[in-house]
Amino acid sequence: MALQAPVHPSGSRPAAFVQRHVKNPSLSYTASAMAKSRIHSLSSKHRFRSLIPKVAESDSVATALPVTGDRMLVMVPPHPLIKHLTSVLRNEQTPPAMFKSAMAELGRLLIYEACRDWLPMISGEIQSPMGVANVEFVDPREPVAIIPILRAGLALAEHAATFLPATKTYHLGMSRDEETLQPSTYLNKIPETFPEGSRALVIDPMLATGGTIVAALDLLTAKGLTPKQIKVISAVAAPPALEKLSRKFPGLLVYTAMIDPVVNDKGFIVPGLGDAGDRCYGT
C-alpha cells in the first residue's frame, strides 16, 4: 500500500518528507525539505527508551511517513538561534542572570514555532496611510492559556504575553521529592473549566522522568482539555518522559530544543543543563 506524505500539525502537507528508519519502529525522524524541521513521531503502542541518540546518526532509505491520530509528535526546530541558546544553557559557567535571559529567549522561539498555524484568525479591512488593506489579526476573543510549571517554567514562559496578542496565565507550582522523584502540587491556579475550543501551552523546561508533566496534563484533561488542545514547551526532554507522554496522551505535541539520552538515578537529564530553577534564580 502506498504511503501518503505526512500532514503537518497545521493541516498542510509538505512537498517532501523523509523518514530515516531506526531499528525500533516506535520512533521516526522526519525532515521536510520544504520546512526543514525535525519531527519525532512516537507511537503510543511502543516503547522507545534510549533510542533518541540513534536518530541523528541513522543513515537509511527515504520513505513517506504517515502521521496518525494515535501518535504524539515531538518537534525539535533546527533553528541556529535555538542551538546557540541551548549551548549557553548547557555551559556550567553561565551566570544566573544570563541563564535566565537565555531561557526566556529560548521560550520565545519555541512558543513562536508552536503557534504556527495554530492561532485563531479574523480578517477585515483597515485604512493604511496609502489606502485600504485587507488584513488578518489573531482573534483576541480566544486567549491562549499559558501554564508555566514553577519555578523554572516562569523563565521559559517570560515572553509569551509580550508577543501573543491575547493570553491568560495560570500558574502551576509542582515540586519533586528528591528520594521518590514523585511530584506534589503546592500551587494550582488552573480554572475549574476551560471554554470549548481552548488552546493551552504547558511550559516545563525539563522533561526528565515525566512525573511532573504527566501530573500537570492530568489536571488539565480533568478540566476538559484534550491532548490535541495542548502543546508542551520544553528546553530539554529525555526518553522516560516522552515515553510516558506518548503512552498516556496520544495526539499531544511537544516542542523542545533538545532531546538527551539519559536520566540518572537522581532524576536529572544527562548531559542536560542542571537544575533549571536553581540556575535561573541562583538558589
Task: Give residue-wise pLDDT tens across range 180-220.
Answer: 778 878 899 999 889 888 999 999 999 999 999 999 999 99
| Entry pTM | 0.76
pLDDT in tens, 29-48: 333 332 344 555 554 443 33
Helix (H) or strand (E) holding 255: strand 253-259
> For the chain, which ranges sit under pLDDT 70?
1-69
How distant, in Å, are the alpha carbons of 86, 117, 189, 223, 243 from that of 47?
A: 27, 30, 33, 28, 7
